Amino acid sequence: MTAQDAPTAPRHWEADVLLKDGRTAHIRPIGPADAALLVEFYARVSDQSKYYRFFSPMPRLSERDVKRFTEVDHVNRVAFVLTLSGLMIAVGRYDVVRPGEAEVAFLVEDQHQGRGIAQVLLEHLAQAGRERGVDRFVAEVLPDNTRMIQTFRDAGYHVASEYEDGVLMLEFPITPTDTAIGLMQGREHKAEAASIEKFFNPRSVAVIGASRRQDTIGQALVRHLVTGDFTGRVYVVNPTAAAVSGMPAYKTVQDIPDDVDVAIVAVPADAVQDVVLDCAAKGVHGLVVISSGFAETGEEGRQRQRRLVGLSRSYGLRLIGPNCLGIINTDPSVSINASLSSVMPPRGRAGFFCQSGALGSAILEKVQNRGLGLSTFVSAGNRADVSGNDLLQYWEEDDSTEVVLLYLESIGNPRKFSRIARRVSLRKPIIAVRSGRTTQGVPMGHTVRRIAAPPQAVDAMFRQAGVIQVNTLEEMFDVAQLLAHQPLPRGRRVAIVGNSDALGLLAADAAAEVGLVVNKSVALGADATAEDFEDALDAAIDDPDVDSVVAVYIPPLNVSGEDVANVLAAVGEQSDKPLVSSFLGAEGVPELLRVPDVAGSTAGRGSVPSYPAVEYAVRALARVVEYAVWLRTPDSPPRVGDELDPGTARAVVNRALIDHPGGVDLSQDTLRELLACYGIELWSSRPVADLASAQRVGAELGWNVVLKATADHLRERPDLAHVWRNIDDEAEMADAWETLSAIVTDPANAGFVVQKVAQPGVPITIRSIEDPLFGPVVSFGISGPINELLADRSFRIPPLNERDAAAMVREIKAAPMLFGYRGSEVVDVAEVERLILRVSRLQNDLPQVRSLELSLVLAGAHGATVLTASARVEPVTDPRSDWFVRRLPSLPGDTLPS
């Protein structure tokens, strides 16, 4: 079989992956062209590893063996290879031995064992098996091959074993259980955090492109590393100079006599690929590419960037950039400023991620002016490889980082971001500014898909994950300085203490506008002393009906306010409730309000942030209150009943796609069967073409029926003139038919149906879609054209928990209609939430469902009736971005989401 004749594997089976030590490799299906690579790989494997694999001495592969191992059908015989630096370093395969069951085996080159390679292969083989109808793996392992036995057990599957003829027989289902997915995500977390840790804690850095000229980027990078007091070794690489800034210059990275952890690259764009090869040969962990001339310049640069990332990953390197400002770690034990910014921010508790280099410089200036302080800083530029998701993985475990700040110009993998951010937010607050919220625009250089979901869905994703989304960078710093220095509030109750009645009233108005409750307001008068402030602040903090305090101080003429500042700082340091101030109209954390920090930060825990206007202070406090409420709201998983049957649902969808390979709108009978698998009953609806058929159906249903038109242009009529209820005999049906036919236009195409009359209730709509980048999205709202025009809908990203469903019901503006508005009956909200959770689960389980709409659900006091529904199914051409395998973001230009 030639390479041209070989059956092809799905394109998404190929990916870059991150290993346990934070380095990259490439996984792909094997093919006949890999014969030579396989022979070379096998020659490097030790005799013991070969014996563990084949249970007998097998020093070399015969031509027949090579042919058998490399020529597979990608269905019943599937094999993946892992490559690094152009060499095969591992191979894993499964062979179907009986329907639904396959035997799996691995072989990893000895020097790469212990890097988690077998686990990566098992993940990808299991996913391929699930796609090919395999539901169980079996493996034969020698008892003393403990490492391979542990690999299977660590996968999170339930492994059954038995001993036979000196061989351990392992058997396990490959269904992606919550345990297996959780363990896989845990491995992903550790690998991505490890890859970033090397950037922030290098022992040595090489500046490639270092220059003796003062006005060059290379010279600035060297200067900032040296003046920033980097504790490691700095090496400069310049092929034409003997020395740079008094340090010996090396022609290449390989000429450096010691190890190099990180390379800072500032050479012309067309020379960067040669640098990658040089760094790979040296064993460098990662690259920070300052150089521009990549995707931000157009199509040619985009292709250059794609080649750069592919080359870096193929040699195991991670990359920050290109076209980036650089990285900073203010930890005194490292103190690295590997960036173009001359500003080394003060030590602080916040980690900052942004993309724009120019904006990064402004951010660092602002941080310094406010006295906020940072733990670490990354400007990722075009974000071709390392992304905000990687930084979140690192900051989650970083003890020096207590607050995460994100300026996002695009989101390459929103589904993964949502998953990681939701976990991190439970431990550390995340504050995010997202540009392009209205236009959903993507800047030049950011090669990601546009999100098809509405902007409200993206906002909902942030709320769902506990992310504090703000509108501007100024507001981000307002919130950050409060979170970094003050405790979280317990609730919404606020006390206002100040020496200005006017500003006190402004603060009270601002609090009411953002949902805070002013339980205490103390006006001290313009001549209030420091002792007066101290007494009032102590009383407010001790009040059990107060959760946070806003202090306002405008001094009389020729008074410094130092005594009051000392009081504020002392109270803020000792209080277990947050204290914010508008002190002298200052912005940030003024010197007078700072508390010394034993950890080295310029402003320690208990320092009192100040805002130039009381409205800013109250707005920042409200953002923090919302986060505290989210944090304290129980996050229980949805209660799953026995009525869920996802296996049958998949069979229903697959059957429809077999009959209609290109996709199809489901018939009502098929849709009813699908919904029943998730405990959703679709009310029977019988189409009728004329009066006689309407009368016949009404009699068959036992009368008390409704006649209605279902055409799209009619069913949203606010006057409900397309509906006639409570029809009890043939005469009433004739009257209804005649009246509706006269009212609606084009009655022949009105789509008349007859249904049993349902219990009265509030009409609601629940929808779900499969977004090409976002994955599943669920929305909820009151039915009707007015609500549609006003976009009064709530959104969430599955999987949902009970808190999400409850929030969806309550956050729409029309929610009072469900809770007894103007004396009406309160609907069965628990049943509405149950329907939302069921739709969410269905959409999450079945990516083939491109859209599902329960367009008319009557929510009454004793349940909810699904009267009208529709759905469309289509084949899945690309997997979701967080399929049940670990994979790095796809390269620019690939069709898979990054």
DSSP class of 559:
-
Q: What is the longest distance spanned by two Cα atoms in the chain? A: 104
For range 381-390, the mean pLDDT: 94
DSSP 230-277: -SSEEEEE-TT-SEETTEEEESSGGG-SS--SEEEE-S-GGGHHHHHH
pLDDT in tens, 110-168: 999 999 999 999 999 999 999 999 999 999 999 999 999 999 999 999 899 999 888 99
Q: How confident is the model over 700-723, as a mean pLDDT?
A: 77
C-alpha closest to that of 715 among 763, 674, 668: 763
> Which of 46, 778, 820 shows the shortest CA–CA distance to 54?
46
As beta bridge partners, residue 753 has 687, 708
pLDDT of residue 46: 96
pLDDT at 350 over 80: yes
Q: Is the pLDDT of residue 893 over 80?
A: no
Tens digits of residue pLDDT in 215-267: 899 999 999 999 999 999 999 999 998 899 889 999 999 999 999 999 999 99
What pLDDT score does 649 carry? 96
Tell the burial category of 499 from Cβ atoms under 10 Å away from its Cβ (0-12, 13-18, 19+). buried
Give per-residue pLDDT as tens, 404-433.
Answer: 999 998 888 888 999 999 999 999 999 999
Q: Is the pLDDT of residue 372 over 70?
A: yes
* pLDDT score for 443: 54
pTM comes to 0.90
Q: Can you tell me the mean pLDDT for 805-809? A: 95
How many residues comprise the chain? 898
What 3-state DSSP class applies to 350?
A: strand
Q: What is the pLDDT of residue 585?
A: 84
CA distances to 447, 468, 837 from 773, in Å: 13, 22, 22
Of 778, 782, 859, the C-alpha closest to 813 is: 782
Amino acid identity at 543: D
Q: How does residue 896 score in pLDDT terms, banded at 50, 70 and 90?
A: very low
Lowest mean pLDDT, pick from 84-93, 344-353, 784-793: 784-793
pLDDT tens-digit map of 594-616: 888 766 667 788 999 999 999 99
C-alpha Rg value of the chain to the nearest Å: 32
H/E stretch holding 137 reads strand 136-141
Q: Please determine, for residue 865, whether its predicted confidence score (pLDDT) is greater than 50.
A: yes
DSSP count for the chain of H helices, then E strands: 26, 36
Please report, in angstroms and rounded to a whole number, the separation of the first and last CA atoms in the chain.
34
Name residue 354's amino acid. C
Mean pLDDT on 364-381: 90
Query: How far, in Å, CA of 447 to CA of 518, rounded?
Result: 47
pLDDT tens digits, 85-119: 999 999 999 999 999 999 999 999 999 999 999 99
pLDDT of 34 > 90? The answer is: yes
pLDDT at 897 over 70: no
What is the CB-side half-sphere exposure of residue 531 using CA atoms within 13 A? 0
Q: Which pLDDT band holds residue 449 (cuts at 50, 70, 90)? A: low
Mean pLDDT across the stretch 631-648? 79
User: Residue 673 above 60 pLDDT?
Assistant: yes
Q: Is the pLDDT of residue 783 over 80?
A: yes
pLDDT for 28 equals 97
| Closest listed residue to residue 253, CA positions, set 287, 220, 207 | 207
Place of tokens 């929305």: 779
Burial of 731 (0-12, 13-18, 19+ CB in 10 A): exposed
List, edge to edge, every strand of the sheet that includes 752-756.
Answer: 686-687, 752-756, 705-709, 723-727
Dump pLDDT digits (tens) for 744-772.
877 888 889 999 988 899 999 999 999 88
- Say what the pLDDT of residue 6 is: 58
pLDDT in tens, 172-197: 999 988 899 999 999 999 999 999 99
Nearest to 780 by CA among 770, 769, 767, 763: 767
Side-chain-side CA neighbours of 491 within 13 Å: the count stands at: 10
pLDDT at 898: 35
Mean pLDDT over 381-389 rounds to 94
pLDDT at 441 over 80: no
